[in-house]
Chain A
Amino acid sequence: MKKAITILTLTTLLFYACNHELDTFNKNPNEVESVTPDVMLTVSEVATFSTQTAELAHTANIFTQHLTGNDGQYENTGRYKITEETFNNQWGILYHDAMENAFLIIDQYGADNPYYDGMAKVLMAINLSTATDLWNAVPYSDAFGGLKGNHHPKYQKQGAIYDEIQAMLGEAIADFEKSDSDNARIPGTDDLIFNGDVAKWKKIAYVLKARYALRLTQIDDKAAEKALDYINRSGISSSQDDMEAVFDGGGSSTNQWYAIQKNRANYLKMGATFINMMRAPNDPRLAFFATKDDYDGYSGSEAEEQDKDDVSNIGPALATADKNLGMVTYVEAQFIKAEAKLRTDDTGGAKTAFREAVSASVEQVTGKAADEDFIKRVTQTVDLENIIKQKYIALFGSLEPYNDWRRTGFPTLKPNSAAQTRQIPLRLITPQGERLYNPNAIVVEDLYQPVDWDDRD
């Protein structure tokens, strides 16, 4: 009987001994279930650095012939061979990393933290405009419902998206005008961009309003007027106010132009269109935008020329490990002002802004004040073509030249004639994830169906 009791006791012990463990073992020691807005802001900002300066920017600059897709996967981009998988990841970075985190800041913490709310709205605006500029109709007001069970967001037309963008930037400006005491938490070093300086954020919000107003020149007669108004209200006064993607060259925070050049040498090469544009007027920025080629000069390859490794690489103004990159800048603001003034028939004002734009760019890129003669030479003609051409040079690396080219047709580009389609894409194909998993997606598989603001007729 003793043995029976022993076995009985043992069994009972075994059976009840682990109840506590069954209940408690599933507490995750690795990840947290809730956070504060500061750590989310940092994620949204870094994701925005990625959307504005990495693969999408690489692609846009191939399309605009600043660069040539020379090797590897970018060789396909250079031939306009884009599939629905190509930008799945980038779409994910836009909607998940950049915008969902911004959305959660606004949704969960916005009311008590207007500064965070405003910053999140600015980041949302930048990324949402990137999405709509490349994909036209995209979801916004029905998006970001994953946590709440809305798994099939409806798409909105581009016009509606731009109304949302203007509205959220307006709200952001109102947020930034509030006082510190209206905030439960004040942003600081978690704001990698401006270290919590809301005055700068406010200026950028206005410049963005101007950028997005001017985007609609083809479909909105008042576009230039509005843009001019926003620029004037922005108060942006120098490159000190630039909103930059920040990098320090660390392994997890390396400039992505540098990284692509380092990791995938020759995937991207300088484009002949861009190099030639700078060579003739002896542009001092050339040595900063491009490296020397194999023959100690500067050269780019034509769109048709791929697998050509002896031409220039991307120069140190972009591809330096710890180089910050402008996302919304004083230079761009001056170009917007120049174009807006030109469009509102203020040629004199346009010229002033145009000269300031180019001088500021030269100074910013080369670190030296621009040579007066050079500025005079290149800004002599004040017309849309020349303004956009100079903007194309100054904003090398950003997504804006691709938008401007589609909007204005400048500069004139000769498509890669070796490409099957022989036409520069006018947009991107709906990402595979949207086609497959969102029955409400408006699927477009044609790279040549223009976006709504690109009114070609």
Chain B
Amino acid sequence: MKKILLLTLCTLSAIDVYAQPKAIGGTVADQKGLPLPGVNVVVVGTAPRGTSTDFDGKYSIRASKGEKLRFTYVGYEAVVVTVGEKEVLNITMTPAKNQLSELVVTAFGVKRQQKALGYGVSEVSADDIEKSGERNVVEALAAKAAGVQVIGSGGTPGASSKIIIRGKKSISLGSDPLIIVDGVRVNNATVQSKAGDYAYNKNLEGVNASNRLLDLNSDDIQNVSILKGPAAAALYGEGAGNGVIIYTTKSGKKRKGIGIDFRTSTELATVSKLPKLQHTYAAGTGGQFKAAADPGPDKLYNTKDDVSEGTSDSWGPRAAEAGIPLYDNTDNFFQTGVTQSYDLALSGGSEKTTFRLSVGRTEQEGIIPNSELKRTSIRLTGDTDLSDNLKMGATATYSYTGGTKVQNGSNLSGIMLDLLTTPASYDLRDYVDPATGFQKTYRASHDNPYYSAYADPFTDEVNRTLGSAYITYTPKDWFHSTLRSGWDVYSDNRRQVYAISSVGDDNSSGKGQVNYDRILNKEFNVNLILSGAVPLIGEDILNLNYTTGLDINASFYDEVFSRGRNLAVQGIYSLGNASELYASNYKSKKIDRGIYAQAELDWKDQLFVTASGREDEASSYDKKPFYPAVSLAWVASNSFDLPAWVSFAKLRYGYSESGLSPAPYSNKTFYTASNIAGGYTQGLSFPYMKRSGMGISSGLGDPDLEPERLLGHEAGLELAFLQKRVTLDASYYYQTSKDVLLNIPLAASTGLETRYTNAAEIVNKGVEVDLGLGVLRNRNWNWGTHINFATNDNEVTQLADGVDQASIESAFESIGSYAIVGYPLGALFGAKWKRDKSGNLVIGSDGLPIKDPESGNIGNPAPQWTAGIQNTLRWKNISLSALLDIRKGGDIHNGTYSLLNYYGATAESAIDRGKSYTIPGVKEDGSPNDKAIDAQTYFKEYVGWSGAAEQFVQDGGWVRLREISLAYRVSDFSKSNMLNFIQYVEFSISGRNLWLDTQYKGVDPETSLTGAGSRIDGFDYFNNPGSKSFAFGLKVGF
């Protein structure tokens, strides 16, 4: 491979183009404004000469006035223009009739004709991103493309969103696709802050951390290309096993003067859905009222002088009868979140140079008090032609993303835990004792949610710069070279405080705590791409396009965590105010290098064969894996005369391999400072009483680790009918993940608990359908419908010898997410009820069902199918669009519901408390159960927390109106002398999640306790709720 590369370079020679009177240049683009690379530009006449456009559709050629320039491009109508006075000639090319020749961005930013591809690529446009109203460019992809699942973690500002393409493929490496922005790898990690001595899964509590693609300004995005299968992603080799998402940002265009685009929007968000709570009964048990916690004279809970501990139980008396006032705490608590965003972009250019400068600012206030997000981003992009065949450019962004996050999930200061379990007879609004600054709460061991929000904030501040620079040399059609180098560097400064009296601190001591967490992440990337087009037989019979290159990526992560406990003075969060200090750090670095080559043969514009290969080397393993790919596309409509109503027909097939490489330092066994978990306490850890302790790690490393391999078959059919009014793109894929890395569980009696090695196999197969319908098209009306539909069937087909079950990431004792042979990856496994042969519950002598001593499969968080239906209706200048998002299935363990039932807080627990319940089932002797139990026992022990986990697994499917927007655009100002400097004005009103239909008894089921940084889904344990919103927007172009 190396030799071929060098040979190619050696045979290279540079020839200057024959000098001509003047230089003509410009950009060749398609109708959408997407630049076309490789367009042939020929001066027609006595001395024919030519060039072709570069990667960005730019060309430059010398020609005299009066000469004709002919632009030709496969699949497009030829364009001929006569050279006049102008030196800038921008060309728009339209697709040839009977062609579906849209260009798509493929691996390494290479734009290829869609018809030549032997695999499916989904594209999302800037317009689609904008319409979503999302500030997170990951969440903005939700329901936009078949086979691309987005899981948000909640409605708080900056909460992470996770993306899963064509199902989960890895047990230990997560599902995050590779993210490329303008040809450069970009970090999208979601990092949860926790001290090194924390013994449990840090994703289960804390705040909803952000996924770092949040730093990208959605207004800078021109286009998103999603490479879903390995065939599409094979050129990226070891990084691409989970698919690749390529974001292309906007760049400048040659134009007269400077163009200005301004956009602003105001969004008003409210909480979308909450569990139904009862407003009938007061605090207490067995009908007896129990007063709220009383901290005694010192005003601090959990101290010796406490008078009472309070309760979360709402099994007290009927409030109306007992004369106890009730409060609507949830209604009081949530607020309308207001988001303001502003985007200003300046763009322009001269003959040789173009630029775009954009500034964006977003200020978001959440639906939970004191939660907010602020983001500022500045991006400058410039390109310049140094000579006819040499050009360079660069793009750079600086962004600041920061905000305040609130506690989520399973900790004692979790907002929803405290808000929802508080008995209605307690008014949470009186949350602080003004004299001491200590909290007032209903139950000594829980925080008041107001206090948690205001006194225990998490603040973060991310300063990030990313960008790239390139130089392109294109001496010949058959030889283009681009050297590109990129960087992505960010620092993340975080602070979490817990005021004195809050029990959110690690030990629930109430003594106050402050954590500082500093992360510095650096990634660098260099790639060299050589490409060209070589006509092999004739001009239009057999053509070869080749791409070959070198790709180097290095990443460096450095985190230092420090913590101070036992604060002396309330409200001072410096480490100097703490009497017990702790620090931990984590560093890692990784480098990988790949060389690749790809050849595409194009036979008479009918048959396209592409073959590629990549070889990788990386610091985290000792092998040199090779990833081959081959694909075939046959445009049948160019081979046969099909009936006139068939506009286009294509069949495709691809086979390929890509990989996922192991994390650094995972191929050895180390000694570590152990954490000895205590079950329900923070346990014991090191340093212990100022003594270090290092024990053998519980995981055994494997020196022969290699990357996981994804082997994929993909076949597809693309059809277009009736002048492309109806388009259909259907794919079937069968992807096998082999050598999947996993922590093979070991029986602890071996002295160790896991062995990390390549062992498992997972199969994902599915169907994706994209259907486009141009329902109505005339002068004034345009109604289009776009439907995407996808199924994915996931199965763990093998784990390791003697192992048919492995935990993916720890969740709860009663339920977890596992890899189990024969089940989908991530299936929920947990406590089940014991059943007889005919499936009846077996009821014990106490009238309650008996738990099966063995756990079993009780749900699958992956949906059965997903669909998005986008309708766009345009009448003259008014457009209305709506996106319906459907998710069928997708189980969630509703831990919130189980605990709310237990405490008698749910509406259903209050329907009839006088009733006695006889649970249908059989007694252990087989006779029908006849033992009645009271309501409190029923809700606590059966349909509440003490019941088996299976009782709380609920269908998380939905139908939702994810987006709806109405826009009015005026773009004809040329007749007005006063306003002719305006290009367009657009007003819009839009809504997000305005309608949601779901069986789920809790918050919006698009929720994730563990967030995008976690490998497991399907858990709701007092997750912060989702939001719905209205937004008003204004866009102006000058």
Contact = CB atoms under 8 A, between A and B. Distances in A.
A96 B747 contact: no
Interface in A241-271: 246-248, 250-254, 256, 259-260, 262-267
- A35, A146, A190: which has the most chain B beta carbons within 10 Å? A146
Given A1-B13, A31-B665, A73 B813 contact: yes
B846 interface: yes
Q: Which of B444, B591, B751, B854 has the most CB of A within 10 A?
A: B751
B473 to A, nearest CB: 6
A385 B222 CA distance: 84
Size category of the binding interface on chain A? 35 or more
A434 B850 contact: no
A15 interface: yes
A262 to B, nearest CB: 6
A263 B507 contact: yes
Contacts of A437: 745-747, 802-803
B692 A438 contact: no
Interface residues of B, number: 107
B580 A72 contact: no
Contacts of B853: 83-84, 429, 445
Contacts of B679: 54-55, 58, 73, 89-90
B749 A153 contact: yes
A143 B752 CA distance: 10
Interface in A265-304: 265-267, 294
Contacts of B619: 21-26
A50 B750 contact: no
Nearest to A150: B750
A247 B848 CA distance: 41
B18 interface: no
A100 B680 contact: no
Contacts of B589: 25
Given A3-B14, A46-B693, A18 B671 contact: no
B776 interface: no
A419 B444 CA distance: 29
Nearest to B805: A436
Interface stretch (B47-55, B391-399, B694-702, B709-717): B694-702
Interface stretch (B419-427, B681-689, B1011-1019): B681-689
Contact of A252 (B677, B688, B696): B688
B695 A40 contact: yes
Interface string A356-373: 000000000000000000
A34 interface: yes
Interface in B1-16: 2, 5-6, 9-10, 12-14
A439 B399 CA distance: 55
A260 B14 CA distance: 77
A395 interface: no
A309 B745 contact: no
Given A54-B679, A83-B831, A11 B6 contact: yes
B582 interface: yes
A30 B586 contact: yes
Contacts of B692: 39, 42
Contacts of A294: 308
B473 A7 contact: yes
B435 interface: no
Nearest to B481: A7
Given A42-B693, A89-B679, A22 B591 contact: yes
B460 to A, nearest CB: 23
Contacts of B752: 96, 100, 146-147
A53 to B, nearest CB: 10
B527 to A, nearest CB: 9
Nearest to B592: A22
Most buried by A among B6, B587, B752: B752
Contacts of A92: 698, 748, 753
A139 interface: yes
A31 B697 contact: yes
B121 to A, nearest CB: 28
Contacts of B586: 30
A215 B505 CA distance: 43
Given A4-B13, A7-B473, A95 B751 contact: yes
Given A92-B698, A96-B752, A433-B747, A264 B681 contact: yes
A75 to B, nearest CB: 6
Interface centre among A44, A96, A259, A438 (most CB of B within 10 A): A96
Interface string B657-687: 0000000110111111010111111111111
Interface string A218-259: 000000000000000000000000000011101111101001
A305 to B, nearest CB: 12
Q: Which of A46, A50, A94, A264 has the most CB of B within 10 A?
A: A46
Given A85-B813, A418-B846, A431-B748, A253 B682 contact: no
B113 to A, nearest CB: 28
B748 A96 contact: yes
Contacts of B682: 251-252, 254, 259, 263
A49 to B, nearest CB: 6
B565 interface: yes
B12 A7 contact: yes
A434 B750 CA distance: 10
Given A39-B693, A251-B580, A143 B750 contact: yes
B747 A441 contact: yes
Contacts of A14: 526, 528, 550, 552
A404 interface: no
B694 A39 contact: yes
B636 to A, nearest CB: 41
A423 interface: no
B850 to A, nearest CB: 6
Given A22-B619, A35-B694, A39-B694, A265 B552 contact: no
Contacts of A100: 695-696, 751-752
Contacts of A84: 853-855
Given A96-B748, A143-B749, A263-B681, A189 B691 contact: yes
Given A30-B587, A32-B694, A263 B6 contact: no
A10 B528 contact: yes
Contacts of A99: 751
Contacts of A101: 695-696
A185 interface: no
Given A43-B694, A146-B750, A28 B676 contact: no
Given A259-B682, A437-B803, A83 B855 contact: yes
Given A97-B676, A144-B751, 19 more contacts: A4-B9, A15-B595, A22-B593, A32-B671, A54-B678, A54-B683, A55-B678, A84-B854, A100-B696, A104-B696, A145-B750, A147-B751, A152-B802, A252-B687, A253-B689, A263-B680, A263-B682, A265-B444, A267-B680
Interface of B: 2, 5-6, 9-10, 12-14, 197, 285, 302, 308-309, 311, 313, 444-445, 473, 475, 481, 483, 506-509, 526, 528, 550, 552, 554, 565, 580, 582, 585-593, 595, 617-620, 664-665, 667-672, 674, 676-689, 691-698, 700, 745-753, 755, 802-805, 813-814, 831, 844-846, 848, 850-851, 853-855, 940, 946
Interface of A: 1-4, 7-8, 10-12, 14-15, 18, 21-26, 28-35, 39-40, 42-44, 46-47, 49-50, 54-55, 58, 72-76, 81, 83-86, 89-97, 99-101, 103-104, 138-139, 143-147, 150-153, 189-190, 192, 246-248, 250-254, 256, 259-260, 262-267, 294, 307, 309, 418-420, 422, 429, 431-434, 436-439, 441, 445
- Lowest 8 CB-CB distances: which A-B pairs, in order? A100-B751, A146-B752, A438-B747, A25-B619, A146-B750, A43-B695, A420-B844, A31-B670
26 contacts: A2-B14, A14-B528, A15-B550, A30-B588, A31-B670, A33-B668, A33-B669, A35-B694, A39-B694, A42-B691, A46-B688, A55-B680, A73-B813, A86-B813, A146-B750, A189-B691, A250-B689, A252-B582, A259-B678, A265-B302, A418-B846, A433-B746, A433-B748, A436-B804, A437-B802, A439-B802
